[in-house]
Chain A
């Protein structure tokens, strides 16, 4: 079977998964308290509550409610966010961009650094670089993120004043247009070096905090699978051909070591999203994570639903991407399915 056929097959399953996810998301909010809780106050009479419920169709049969909601989602209507005091869709884009920018920065750092460090350590097994890397990966994955965030904050913001918190300097932010909502991209599009620098400067601390644990996990996985691959016969066979060690490592061992590492990278994406909540709160990053935390505390169900639905779709997409890369790296997957 060709990779293309495999891809088409995987894409065809996607809509079915999406419908399943939407049903689960809808059901979840019906288990966790009243959807209109955020609009109710103690002074309301039962009649007023009843009227509110009628207005939002909460007394209709559940399937009717589901289709009403799902129809809205398809039309781009995700309801009203009580926390943001605006329609969810209106606020969502900006916050999504903020979170994506942070998660992407952290993810890019984690993947490149993790693979590089893991390869470096694995190729120097049981020598000093390997031991140092192990110290890094063990401490990196066991340090609580909120603690690490606060330490960085105290040292680099409060004490040294090297890096700022928040997402941007308001004056610089206002000076450029924001077509994508990704500050780094916008500043480059505007051709403003000052804005780009500002964007990067604000990203450093939260991205390091968010990416640390993931870097550590990817490093460890890459290291151990590379060590394993280096013991395989085909590596010696590659050496026996006269290939220099550089090619033996890159083209042969590392390529195969990436296969199990890809799985970890795919999973770590969820880890990153999860981490954004704490990181965004501590660094005052105006993203989805902080918004979600507020929404949960105040029972803002429209926001929670939008968040869960969105992250689920994101997950499915990332998983698909990982599977495709996986199939590309390991041809046996394609044949076996």
Chain B
């Protein structure tokens, strides 16, 4: 793909700015059996205000890709093996600044981005909340971390240092005792009230009834759907530029799924937040995304506008996926119905990762990595079917083709 991403402008024709641009991202895991190439040269852009769907079978590297935006891939065993993720926050853009590379910025800059400019909703709301802390306290942390200025506002410009430190969650043991004693107690209470107002407002955004009551609750006292609302409220608390939703409805009841999906869509449209929506559910992604990236075994197979990809899928893998989806429009199909299994990603040889399952695979597919080709306006694919024989140094009839099934 001829990317003009460096300028912060999408290839679409300079009409839409980018929020993030992933370029040639590789994340490997060191295991006893060898290097697992979980993410292996992934590139895609996320445009300002869009929802990009990232779809693929379980284990294809979606979560690892998502986590690398926040540098949350544990290392070891993870290895950031290459590539970069450029990110334009609304602040730097307003100041006319360029992107930062999320993989190399300093730790404290990363902390400032996490939960503030980029936020994440996790797959299992039951596990993503700390069982020992009340809902209110967990949400409050986000505001203390990123909005301490707002919390200190009611105290005016001359708030004592101890209070400032408390609002930034920097208090030591002695300070915490002092904060409970008379001269500081009332000031600390003001900050507390302020943060509670913020938390209540954030919860109300996600249509949680009685936010003040929920704040005193502990996670085990809430239903799964309610917990996911809390996590959405937490993620959107600081109005992030990019929201990463990693299978946010997979762990929920079917009836709740639609409501959570609608909530995310509604909040996204109201705030114009960019969303990276990850799912293994093709029909779900179709419903919510402006564009879709199809991922297979650590690589992007195809990327394009949702309508284009679904109307005219280019990659054999995308086609198989769609064939596996029940045809009646509203039924949800999962991506398991393709023959064969995802290949081992340990120390792979150059090849198309799909060649072990592809009905059209030719000799070259097992020997050469397919390039990423722009097939159409805003529609790209990585498959030798669309490649040039001359580039590969083979005869035209050695190229795979939809006219020729090989299995």
> What residues make up the interface of A, taking CB atoms closer than 8 Å to B?
232-234, 236-244, 247, 251-252, 255-256, 259, 329-332, 335
Contacts and interface: CB of A to CB of B under 8 A. Distances in A.
Interface in B110-143: 111-116, 119-120, 122, 124, 127-133, 141-142
A307 to B, nearest CB: 38
A280 to B, nearest CB: 34
A240 B138 CA distance: 12
A256 B169 CA distance: 19
| 9 A-B pairs with least C-beta separation | A242-B115, A241-B115, A233-B127, A242-B114, A237-B128, A331-B218, A234-B130, A240-B120, A242-B145
B116 A232 contact: no
Given A236-B67, A240-B70, 17 more contacts: A233-B122, A236-B128, A237-B231, A238-B141, A241-B142, A242-B111, A242-B115, A243-B141, A247-B141, A252-B130, A252-B133, A255-B133, A256-B130, A256-B132, A330-B132, A332-B131, A332-B218
A242 B142 contact: yes
B146 interface: yes
B234 interface: yes
B332 interface: no
Nearest to A241: B115
A240 B116 CA distance: 9
Given A233-B122, A331-B218, A242 B127 contact: no
Given A234-B128, A252-B130, A239 B169 contact: no
Contacts of A240: 70, 72, 114-115, 119-120, 122
B111 A244 contact: yes
B127 A234 contact: yes
11 contacts: A234-B128, A237-B129, A240-B70, A240-B120, A241-B141, A251-B133, A251-B141, A256-B132, A332-B218, A332-B220, A335-B221
Nearest to B220: A332
Given A237-B122, A243-B145, A331 B114 contact: no
Contacts of A239: 70, 72, 114
B72 A236 contact: yes
B214 to A, nearest CB: 14
Interface of B: 67, 70, 72, 111-116, 119-120, 122, 124, 127-133, 141-142, 145-146, 169, 218, 220-221, 231, 234
Contacts of B122: 233, 236-237, 240
A331 B220 contact: yes
Nearest to A332: B220
A54 to B, nearest CB: 62
A337 to B, nearest CB: 13
Nearest to A247: B169
A317 to B, nearest CB: 25
A329 B133 CA distance: 9
Nearest to A258: B132
Contacts of A237: 120, 122, 128-130, 231
A255 B70 contact: no
Nearest to B120: A240
Contacts of B133: 251-252, 255
Contacts of A238: 130, 141
Contacts of B130: 234, 237-238, 252, 255-256
Most chain B CB within 10 A, of A238, A240, A256, is at: A240
A227 to B, nearest CB: 12
A242 B113 contact: yes
A233 B124 contact: yes
A46 B27 CA distance: 90
A241 B116 CA distance: 7
Given A237-B122, A240-B114, A331 B72 contact: no
A215 B182 CA distance: 39
A241 B119 CA distance: 7
A331 B131 contact: yes
B132 A233 contact: no
Contacts of B119: 240
A95 B146 CA distance: 56
B227 to A, nearest CB: 11
B124 to A, nearest CB: 6
Contacts of B146: 242
Contacts of B116: 242
Given A233-B127, A256-B131, A335 B220 contact: yes
B115 A234 contact: no
